[in-house]
């Protein structure tokens, strides 16, 4: 038991982050959930071996706080996991859909089920976690309310599934990052980078050209507002290959002349 990895994940038991953790680590990890994303990063910084946090959904887009925390933290991206998301409407046993007025869940899940919620004219109420909203309703006197979460959360908390697969997009996936104090070792085929642009014409073009000129394929690019600096942005980029590859080393070397800062968030094996 002493050799089991300590895994911190975002949310309560039954959350999709817990599912991603189990999918990635199997039975070799001792899992602990945390209510807030910064707590996961702090747990890994202090004593957990790894953390599991959501970063992007195929329907609703980025989990912006995760991007900000990756930039602020000294932790590295160790790996990634992709989980198919199938949302259920979950309520207390004995409850019928006609009884429901309010629906609680994480804002991302509410957005992913927007069409269903609007069709039934439910009041959507944000909560910190999908599974946490199921647990909250179970422990409350709310008989006119339901939660959006996974079927495993319904089973875990002994609640009733009123409707299955209520997400607007049936091909609904969330990408999770595995974070650790040390970077990944072994074969890596994906690298994540954060950078800030110089305030001059063509700066973003010049950055992208650094990758193109060195034959590096960019998979994803995301911009985030800089806190306290209106209309200024940091950028996050995923590309194919390892930071140790010659092509990426050449690209990042050129990037340092085009950016005000450059941070390698990690190289890892893609999901």
Active site residues: 174, 176
Label each residue of the chain as H, E or C. CCCCEEEEEECCCCCHHHHHHHHHHCCCEEEEEECCHHHHHHHHHHCCCEEEEEEEECCCEECHHHHHHHHHCCCEEEEEEEEECCCEEEECCCCCHHHCCEEEECHHHHHHCHHHHHHHCCEEEECCCHHHHHHHHHCCCCCCEEEEECHHHHHHCCCEEEECCCCCCCCCEEEEEEEECCCCCCCCCEEEEEEEECCCCCHHHHHHHHHHHCCCCEEEEEEEEECCEEEEEEEEEEEECCCCCHHHHHHHHHHCCCEEEEEEEEEECCC
Q: Residue 238: count other Cβ atoms within 10 Å of its Cβ.
A: 20
Q: Residue 264: count other Cβ atoms within 10 Å of its Cβ.
A: 16
Q: Residue 262: count other Cβ atoms within 10 Å of its Cβ.
A: 15
CA–CA–CA angle 121, 173, 14 (5° rounding): 75
Distance CA 46, CA 264 (A): 22
Looking at the DSSP bridge assignments, the partners of residue 261 are: 196
């Amino acid at each position: 038991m002493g050799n089991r990895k300590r895994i911190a994940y975002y949310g309560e038991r039954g959350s999709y982050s817990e599912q991603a953790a189990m999918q990635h680590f199997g039975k070799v990890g001792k899992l602990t959930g945390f209510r807030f994303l910064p707590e996961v990063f702090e747990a890994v910084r202090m004593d957990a071996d790894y953390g599991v946090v959501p970063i992007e959904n195929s329907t609703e887009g980025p989990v912006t706080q995760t991007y900000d925390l990756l930039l602020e933290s000294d932790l590295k991206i160790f790996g990634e996991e992709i989980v198919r998301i199938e949302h259920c409407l979950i309520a207390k046993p004995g409850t019928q859909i006609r009884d429901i007025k309010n629906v609680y869940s994480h804002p991302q899940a509410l957005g992913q089920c927007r069409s269903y919620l609007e069709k039934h004219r439910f009041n959507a109420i944000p909560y910190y976690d999908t599974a946490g909203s199921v647990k909250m309703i179970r422990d409350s006197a709310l008989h006119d309310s339901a939660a959006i979460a996974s079927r495993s959360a319904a089973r875990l908390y002994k609640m009733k599934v009123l409707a299955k697969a209520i997400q607007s997009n049936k091909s609904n996936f969330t990408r999770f990052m595995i974070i650790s104090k040390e970077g990944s070792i072994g074969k890596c085929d994906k690298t994540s980078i954060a950078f800030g642009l110089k305030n001059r014409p063509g700066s973003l073009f010049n950055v992208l050209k650094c990758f193109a000129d060195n034959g590096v394929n960019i998979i994803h690019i995301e911009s985030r507002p800089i806190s306290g600096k209106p209309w200024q942005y940091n950028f996050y980029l995923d590309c194919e290959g390892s930071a140790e590859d010659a092509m990426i080393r050449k690209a990042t070397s050129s990037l340092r002349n085009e950016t005000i800062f450059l941070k390698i968030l990690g190289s890892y094996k893609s999901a």
